[in-house]
Amino acid sequence: MTTTAARQQHEEIAAYLRSAIHRKEFVPGDPLPSESELCERFNSSRGPVRQAMATLRTEGLITSGRGRRSTVLDDVPTQSFDGVISYSEWCRQSGFEPGQATQTVTRGPAWPALAASLELDVGAPVVSVFRLRLLDGAPAMVERLNYPLEVGQHVLSFDTDSGSIYQRLIESGVDIHHATRTIDAIGADQDDAGLLQVPVGTPLLRVRRRAFTRTGAPVEASDDRYLPGTASFTLTATRGNPSPLTMVSAR
């Protein structure tokens, strides 16, 4: 088996296991199929199976095994702090079908907080997108995306219900090199509640992201609000090495 084929196979095995855990075919505390069973199911050698299991361990979904069958720890899909920016890509890698229902796409002036986040003058033109994101057809997250006009022009000419805005920007030559995330909890406002079909004030996981070019110029400021149980975030830290995670007080 070629290296490329093995890589694709371990991704297929990992996606199958994530999806099975999400569908509650395996719940926390349940053992996963053995390496031999997975090898037989996917007509695979042990290498791709072990790589798939290592991926799920890194994501915090299963135990390490250590001579026993790995056991399910959690059934919430995870995102890595260093993972992809694209929600659509994250869904597909996790074995789910992404979707979207665009509410508005507008061009308007940057208000003070947004201008500061994008390092623009107050009133500078920005493009804003307000979308409901779906996970296997069900409401999962409300997305508020904001771009400087030079970046947002690629969004204005794109059908935002057709797929990934991130992929559209990459294909248009926008340099999206790295991002920072600020994660907290917030109560659902009227718009969030209506789209996510929950009462106003329901706690949501909020992820505010700023994306930058290689030279550090901001190209996106976003506010994503996830339903509880839809997503979690994992961070792997090593003793003695600085952690990219910083805890701050909101008071």
Asked if residues 160 and 87 have their Cβ atoms less than 8 Å apart, the reply is no
SS (H, E, C) 151-216: HHHHHHCCCCCCCCHHHHHHHCCCCCCEEEEEEEEEECCHHHHHHHCCCCCCEEEEEEEEEECCCC
pLDDT value, residue 247? 47
| pLDDT at residue 120 tops 50 | yes
For residue range 41-51, list pLDDT tens digits in order: 999 999 999 99
**Cβ–Cβ contacts within 10 Å for residue 23, how many?**
12
8 Å CB contact between 132 and 101: yes
Q: How confident is the model at residue 81 (pLDDT cuts 50, 70, 90)?
A: very low
pLDDT over threshold 70, residue 79? no
CB 127 within 8 A of CB 107: yes
Tell me the average pLDDT across 127-133. Answer: 96
Q: Which of 50-54, 69-73, 216-220 has the highest mean pLDDT?
A: 216-220
Give tens-digit pLDDT for 178-222.
888 888 999 999 999 999 999 999 999 998 989 999 899 999 999
Residue 249 has pLDDT above 80, yes or no: no
- Residue 242 has a pLDDT of 57
Residues for the chain: how many in total? 251
Whole-Å CA distances, 76 to 144, 224, 225: 23, 17, 15
223 confidence band (pLDDT: 50, 70, 90): very high
Cα–Cα distance measured from residue 59 to residue 66, given in angstroms and rounded to the nearest whole number = 17
Mean of the pLDDT values across residues 211-239?
Answer: 82
Position of tokens 């400021």?
221
**What is this structure's pTM?**
0.68
Name 238's Cβ contacts closer than 8 Å, sequence gap at least 6: none
What DSSP element (H or E) covers 121? none
| Token pair listed for 7 | 């890589």
Under a CB-based contact definition with an 8 Å cutoff, are residues 74 and 60 in contact? Answer: yes
Residue 234 pLDDT: 64
How far apart CA 29 and CA 42 sit, in angstroms, is 24
Give the mean pLDDT of 19-43: 88
Task: Provide, rounded to the nearest whole percent, the portion of the chain with pLDDT above 90.
Answer: 46
Task: Please give the Cα distance from 229 to 238 (Å, whole number).
Answer: 27
- Region 9-33: mean pLDDT is 86
Average confidence score pLDDT of the chain: 84
Helix (H/G/I), strand (E/B), else coil: 225 = strand
Residue 244: which residues within 8 A CB-CB, separation 6 or more?
81, 82, 235
What letter does residue 217 receive in the DSSP assignment?
A: -
DSSP state of 104: E
Q: Which residue has the higher pLDDT, 25 or 95?
A: 25
Gap between the terminal Cα atoms of the chain: 56
What is the rounded distance in angstroms from the CA atom of residue 224 to the CA atom of residue 230? 12
